[in-house]
Chains A and B, each alone.
Chain A
Amino acid sequence: MRMKLSSLGLAASLIAGAATVAFAQGFPSRPINLIVAFPAGGSTDIGARIVGAIAEKAFKQPVVIVNKGGAGGQIGWTELSRAKADGYTIGYVNLPATHTVVLDPERKAIYDLDSLVPVINQVLDPGIVWVRADSPFKSFKQLLEEAKAKPGTIRAATTGILSDDHLAILMSEEAMPGASFRMVHLAGGAAQLKEVLAGNIDVAFDNVGSIVKQVKAGQLRGLAVLDTQRSKFLPDVPTSVELGFKTVISSSTRGIAVPKGTPADVVKALADTFKAAMADPDHVSKLEEQGLAIKVMIGDEYTKYYRDNYALSKKYVEWAKSRPAK
């Protein structure tokens, strides 16, 4: 009887031990909330839903997309930074936007660089400078020379104050000393398209993914892709680097991050599963359909990118704040 009891105890402790191991290994045991700091239907949201649907099969738990849009992403990132660091609330960070919110003291951000830990990057959408097909601007160089000859007259659209496109305009001005644009902050890609076609705006700075279709259709002309290599979606558009503007490199990246303090094994489980999901052919083809270039970065590589991007953004945010509006 005694023996039986002790063996029962042993069995119980074995089960308990198995359970603790299972907790570490068996992450996740309930649904994972994936915060997207932009409304449903945007390109961050589309990417999140595609990868989330694949990852949830591997997790064997639902990945629930939670759209916390507003204030240029600030609300969602604040929410993410405040969430319980248990891996059940994770979220998308969009660089450099996540950083520029922190870097602008006027935005009163209550999270900072270290509040979020980058896990894995999904998309790198390079910047592009584009004009209407019948625009007098035939090349990026000519555009910048014109902006130098007639400073403050060429109307250039961003997709928002301190967006990556705003920084890209500053980089362009820096690359051609004396050049300056008349900056118009629009709400996004659709607004840019409308105003450029209506002739209210001369040139727009945006990301490749937003306008692949229109450039291919010949409605718009891409002047330069702001990257080191040509975009595979628009192989005919030259890069800023090959045109000789080596400092004009801008992109918007989207990746997954967790709140500071999330256990290392949970981070690893997340990174591994999402990495596998991003390699899935279904993921690759669906993202390409959207004109979104996949760029998986993980571990130290992504952490370095996350920090380098902060330093780079810092310089331009400070400049943006001090640059006269006219």
Chain B
Amino acid sequence: MRRAWIIASALLAALFGYTVWESRKYAYLDALGPGPGFFGIWLGGVGVLLALFLIAEVVRGGAFLDGDARVLPALADVPRPLAILVGIALVAASVEYVGFRLATLVFIAVLLPLLGVRNWIAIPVLAVAGSWGVFHVFYHWLKVPLPLGELGI
């Protein structure tokens, strides 16, 4: 927990530092007042200080930490969240090429078993309902434009 806080604060400090650096490219002030770079510099600067303060606080043993709660999931618990993340990423990467229906069909049909569902009737039914069914409702009834993909499906 302690190490996780330090890493997180250090990452934030780096992010804020970068913002300050990037903001120097934009005008700090202009004729009317704060320019486009003003807030980046100040917010980033204050952020760096706060993040460093937090690190110091954690090292000293700050009171706001919750004992020894685990931050990284136990190894056995990793596959499920990971499957979700990879699943969303694959849909995002493919949806404009293969279309909404195909992308979500595969998403549902693969993710459900990966999360531990073993009902081999429910999986195909839900996959079709969740892809073709949802598409039909949203595209045709609710007029929500959804990607059709190169093949037009």
CB within 8 Å of B: which residues of A? Answer: 30-31, 33, 64-66, 324-326
Instruction: Tell me the smallest distance from the CB of A28 to a CB of chain B, in Å.
Output: 12
Considering only CB atoms, which chain A residue lies closest to B30 in the complex? A325
Q: Does B75 touch A at the CB level, under 8 Å?
A: no
Taking A30-B152, A325-B32, A326-B32 as known contacts, 8 extra A-B pairs with beta carbons closer than 8 A to each other, sorted by chain A number, are A30-B148, A31-B148, A33-B145, A64-B145, A65-B145, A66-B145, A325-B30, A326-B31
Q: Verify A324–B31 contact, CB threshold 8 A.
A: yes
The A interface is mostly helix, strand or loop, or mixed, namely loop
A122: shortest Cβ distance to chain B, in Å?
21
Q: Mark B2-22, 1 if CB is under 8 A from A, else 0.
A: 000000000000000000000
Chain B's closest residue to A30 (CB) is: B152
Closest to B33 in A: A325
Chain B, interface SS category: loop
CA distance A66 to B148 in the complex (A): 13
Chain A residue with the shortest CB-CB distance to B36: A106
Per the bound structure, the CA–CA distance linking A64 and B145 in Å amounts to 7
Residues of B within 8 A of A65 (CB): 145
Q: Give complex CA distance A324, B30 in Å.
A: 10
Q: Which residues of A contact B152 (CB under 8 A)?
A: 30
B interface list, Cβ under 8 A from A: 30-32, 145, 148, 152
A90 to B82, CA, bound (A): 39
The 7 closest A-B pairs by CB, nearest first: A325-B31, A326-B31, A64-B145, A325-B32, A66-B145, A30-B152, A324-B31
A37 to B148, CA, bound (A): 20
13 contacts between A and B (CB under 8 A): A30-B148, A30-B152, A31-B148, A33-B145, A64-B145, A65-B145, A66-B145, A324-B31, A325-B30, A325-B31, A325-B32, A326-B31, A326-B32
With a cutoff of 8 Å between Cβ atoms, the chain A residues found around residue B31 in the complex are 324-326
C-alpha gap A47/B148 in the complex (Å): 25
CB proximity of A140 to chain B, nearest CB, Å: 27
Name the distance in Å between B76's Cβ and chain A's nearest Cβ: 43
Contacts of B30 in A (CB 8 A): 325
Smallest beta-carbon distance A5→chain B, Å: 33
User: Which of B30, B32, B145 counts the most A-chain CB atoms under 10 A from its CB?
Assistant: B145
Taking the nearest CB of chain B, how far is it from the CB of A52, in angstroms?
Answer: 11
A324 to B31, CA, bound (A): 8
Chain B residues, CB < 8 A from A33: 145
Which residue on B lies nearest to A65, using beta carbons?
B145
Give the residues in chain B near A31, CB-CB below 8 Å: 148
Residues on the B chain within 8 Å of A30, using CB? 148, 152
A254 to chain B, nearest CB (A): 20
- Shortest B32–chain A CB gap in Å is 5
Q: How far is the CA of A30 from the CA of B32 in the complex (A)?
A: 52
B25 to chain A, nearest CB (A): 12
